[in-house]
Amino acid sequence: MMKVLHIGNVAGVASLLIRGLKDRGIKAQMIERKKHPYRFPSETVVDSSVISFLFYVLKLSQDYDIVHLHSLPYSLLFNIDILAFKALRSKLVVHLHGTELRECHNKVSTKVALGICDQVLISTPDLFLYYPKALWLPNPVDPVFKSLENPQRYGKALYFRKWYEPEGERIVRMKCEEMGLELTVPNSPIRYSEMPLLLNQFEVFFDRFNITSLSKTALEALACGCKVISWRGLIKDPEKILKEHNLEDVTRKLIEIYEKMVGHRKSRAGGESVLLGSLITFSASPTVNHTLGNSLGGFVSFFGH
């Protein structure tokens, strides 16, 4: 049986992958240093300093075939944890989720750290722009997100403030006024367990506009039956997108990545490995010169205003 240790839980992705891996007979564990404010499902939380946590997971990793590290820990000098894992000869996956790569891709420490990893994964295809050697593993959508019958959702829109999109709320409010939509902008974090019901209260979800990929929340909104407006306008192929982000399919692809890393051999626990699914590749170069104003243009006609 293969044994995999996930460290970190960016956007709740790790907790979903852990669930999928366990369903397929892989011994998987997830560990975090701090509980996330959105209260994503978690397994082990070690409330400690960065250095203490590093020593803890380095020792723990010796019992696993693969270490799957979520996000570049750019708060640590020169990504010292990646160097430490490799010094211990760990099979190491670094899973990049966005900001850490967009902001740090030109740093020498980032290039060195990614260069010594066994595999680099990215959660959205726009990140190929910053690290073309990566593999794209789509963000899985939790099956708890599904559309519920709610006639009261019509005419209502939802938008979450984003630190990297300071003008977003102002422009979304302007567009909602033009479209006759009642806009809600939450002022505090929403617990993950409350999100399926919340998303089902709205007809329209406004995603980010200055990043050319759908956020994980936008994927969840699609699953809940929302009309999603993003950098490319109204999403017109939700079924295709949701199939691509199906938890079972994403898990199969991750297992194949793991199997390639360990050479289709028996794991440390002596169990036989299996080969499942096929890797996702993505060759198109993402375009990043969209502006917020241009992205929102042309949506009025969809709503008949």
pLDDT tens-digit series, residues 199-228: 999 999 999 998 999 999 999 999 999 999
Q: CATH number for the domain including 23?
A: 3.40.50.2000
Same domain flag for 254 and 109: yes
* pLDDT computed for residue 66 by the predictor: 94
Q: Enter the tokens of residue 60.
A: 């723990």
DSSP annotation of 141: B
pLDDT tens-digit series, residues 43-92: 677 777 888 888 888 888 889 999 999 987 644 544 667 778 877 777 99
- Nearest Cα to Cα of residue 130 among 103, 158, 165: 103
pLDDT tens-digit series, residues 158-196: 999 998 899 999 999 999 999 999 999 999 889 999 999
Q: Provide the domain count of the chain.
A: 2
Residue 49, CB-side half-sphere exposure with 13 Å CA sphere: 3
**Model pTM?**
0.81
Domain with 209, as residue range(s), is 151-241+288-303
Same domain flag for 48 and 127: yes
* pLDDT computed for residue 47 by the predictor: 77
Q: What mean pLDDT is predicted for residues 255-275?
A: 62
Q: CATH number for the domain including 209?
A: 3.40.50
Question: Rounded CA gap, 31 and 21, in Å?
Answer: 15
Q: What mean pLDDT is predicted for residues 110-121?
A: 89
Q: Is 283 a member of any domain? A: no
* pLDDT computed for residue 90 by the predictor: 75
Contact 122, 136 (CB under 8 A): yes
Q: Enter the tokens of residue 119.
A: 């595999």
Q: Tell me, what amino acid is at 46?
A: V
Q: What mean pLDDT is predicted for residues 277-299?
A: 36
Check whether 27 has a pLDDT greater than 80: yes
In the block, tokens 């499942």 appear at 276
Q: Dump the DSSP string for 235-302.
A: ---HHHHHHHTBHHHHHHHHHHHHHHHHTT---TT-PPP---S------PPPP----HHHHHTT-GGG
Identify which has the larger pLDDT, 38 or 205: 205
Contact 229, 159 (CB under 8 A): no
Contact 245, 139 (CB under 8 A): yes
